[in-house]
Amino acid sequence: MRPRAHLSRLEQRRARHPRGADAGGLPAGARRVDPHPRAERVGGPDPRDRQPREGGGRRPVPPPSPPARLAQPARGPHGGAGTRRAAHPGAGRPQGGGDAGRRGRPRPDVARSAGPVRDLRVHRPAHAGGNGPLPGAAAGASRGVSLGRLLVVSNGYAEDVGATAIIRALPLRDVSVSVYPLVGHGGHFPPEITLLDPRGDFPSRGFGLRAGWAALAALGKDVMHGLTGFWRAQRRTLRAQRGRQDLVLAVGDVYCLAMASAAGGPTVYLVAPKSEYIAPHSRLEVWLIRRLACEVFTRDELTATALVHRGIKAQYLGFWPMDALTFTGETFGLPPDRPVVTLLAGSKPPAFDNLLLLLRAASGAAAAAAAPAPAVLVAWAPQLSPDRLRERVASAGGVWMDAGRFRFDGIDITVTTDRYADALRRATVVLGMAGGANEQAAGLGKPVVAFPGTGPQFTRRFLEEQQRLLGDALVATSNWQDAAATLAHLLGDPRERERRGQVGLRRLGGTGSAAAIARRLLDRLALDRPSA
């Protein structure tokens, strides 16, 4: 007989199990002893157990161990994680079993689970229309039920505004919400929401990936300021959320969706600022959306229809940034019959230079318009320094009368930092160099006049894209002189203002979208996660 080391595997197996023994190593006719007798099992016999067949056969399946529960963050007064900020990106990373420790990304339409759960008690909020209280708020509070944990990932200031409107429509006593703004510091979000770190601003302010030399130059400055290392830290933060969130909401472009997918779990995607009016989605974008998103909402009906034709279950429930507008009834001391021009300089540092161009256009229009001369309002972003604003206006020849009013080129200007929505509603015509703010003005039925400004955002290319998005609701001009002439014409032609305003209302008008999307998120949280 050959030495054992030289035997084939089949010969070694035959040597271990002589003829007459079964594949399991027991003599023929012998029965296995069940190491887990049924009388000792918790919960009684398992219907999936099978009797061992004569001569061996399958071993009875022991009952599954209860699923491991992940540690929950300390909750604040509204069920969230309070006002504390997340520490190191790896802090609180789940260790050990379940899907929490796996690096593989699950299917987007399947909820993550640490093990099988047999008794599912699911709370499903009913659908309802309008802007009334969400059904989950009352039901969840009365039952003491936590609907789940939601992570919101956004990548822009306008996207932050829209995401905030949706978060405010959620019952925060029942849903634990964490937010990770990829651009900026997240100052728009409610203070009771947990903000993940690291956060920061770069010279491009998130516009470095746009085409054009100005955007490329800004992207180069971003890289010099540590963009690559910052991006790696963002990825680590998102990967640390694997297994800690029941649902992920991505608000932004496809890059935002790809970043949000690092957190794992099912991902709902709000398409912004991409629109079919501007340009169709590329094949790569469509492939990524199909692969990463379990549900898709668009900013306009045309985009939803186009994505459906390409095999994506997209829906249009309205333009959600319109729900972020809060009206107080402020009239700024102006009679109702006086025409008003509202200036929108944007929310980023180039606004200081762009405001001076807007002021020249407004003063030129006031000089050319028929009586009565229009009043001028400036809706100034609160995150931009008011002290620097006063310095720039004074250096350009403006004279401040008090903290909120100054005189420039013979006209009185009123500045507001906390009545932005009222300034839009009171406008007869809007003169803007902004992204989301111009769109909100059009959604209110206001004709918008715009021209290219300074900085990487409001470039000529950006203006062309916004023109395609808003259609005749926006009049694109080449400089402040042409904008002044267009303003004067619109102030004297109410029929033309009405026609252009209706275009904006049809494309972006209406409210209730944020509440409708919030209800869909509650439905998905309830379906994807058993109630506590």
Is 0.95 surpassed by the pTM of this model? no
Task: State the fold for domain 100-111+124-131+146-318+514-528.
Answer: Rossmann fold (3.40.50)
Residue 445 backbone dihedrals phi, psi, to 5 degrees: 85, 20
pLDDT of residue 335: 93
194 membership: H or E segment, kind and range? strand 194-195
Domain residue ranges in the chain = 100-111+124-131+146-318+514-528, 340-508
pLDDT of residue 417: 94
Range 340-508: architecture per CATH: 3-Layer(aba) Sandwich (3.40)
> Do 340-508 and 100-111+124-131+146-318+514-528 have the same topology in CATH?
yes
366 membership: H or E segment, kind and range? helix 351-368
CB-side neighbour CA atoms (13 Å) of 105: 17
Q: Which long-range contacts (CB under 8 A, 24 or more apart) does 429-432 make?
A: 429/339, 429/341, 429/342, 429/487, 429/490, 429/491, 429/497, 430/341, 430/342, 430/344, 431/341, 431/342, 431/343, 431/344, 431/358, 431/361, 431/362, 431/483, 431/487, 432/343, 432/344, 432/345, 432/358
What is the C-alpha separation between 382 and 390, in angstroms, rounded? Answer: 14
pLDDT of residue 103: 41
Taking only the tens of pLDDT, the chain with its 532 residues reads 555 555 566 566 666 655 544 444 444 444 444 444 444 433 444 444 444 444 444 445 455 554 444 444 444 444 444 444 444 444 444 444 444 444 444 444 433 333 333 332 233 333 333 333 343 333 443 444 556 899 999 998 889 989 999 999 998 888 999 999 998 888 888 888 899 988 877 666 555 445 455 555 666 666 776 678 888 999 999 999 999 999 999 999 999 999 999 999 899 999 988 899 999 999 999 999 999 999 999 999 999 999 999 999 999 999 999 999 999 999 999 999 999 999 999 988 899 999 999 999 999 999 988 878 899 999 999 989 999 999 999 999 999 999 899 999 989 999 999 999 999 999 999 999 999 999 999 999 999 999 999 887 788 999 999 999 999 999 999 999 999 999 999 999 999 999 999 999 999 988 899 999 999 999 999 865 544 4
Tokens 């420039």 appear where?
Answer: 408
What is the C-alpha separation between 304 and 313, in angstroms, rounded? Answer: 8
Burial of residue 46 (number of CB atoms within 10 Å: 0-12, 13-18, 19+): middle
Burial of residue 66 (number of CB atoms within 10 Å: 0-12, 13-18, 19+): exposed
Residue by residue, DSSP assigns 161-193 as HHHHHHHHTS-TTTEEEEEEESSB--TTS-TTS
pLDDT of residue 231: 86
pLDDT of residue 27: 46
Under 8 Å between Cβ of 193 and 80: yes
323 membership: H or E segment, kind and range? none
What's the Cα-to-Cα distance from 488 to each of 339, 467, 482, rounded to whole Å?
11, 20, 10
377 membership: H or E segment, kind and range? strand 375-379
pLDDT of residue 345: 95
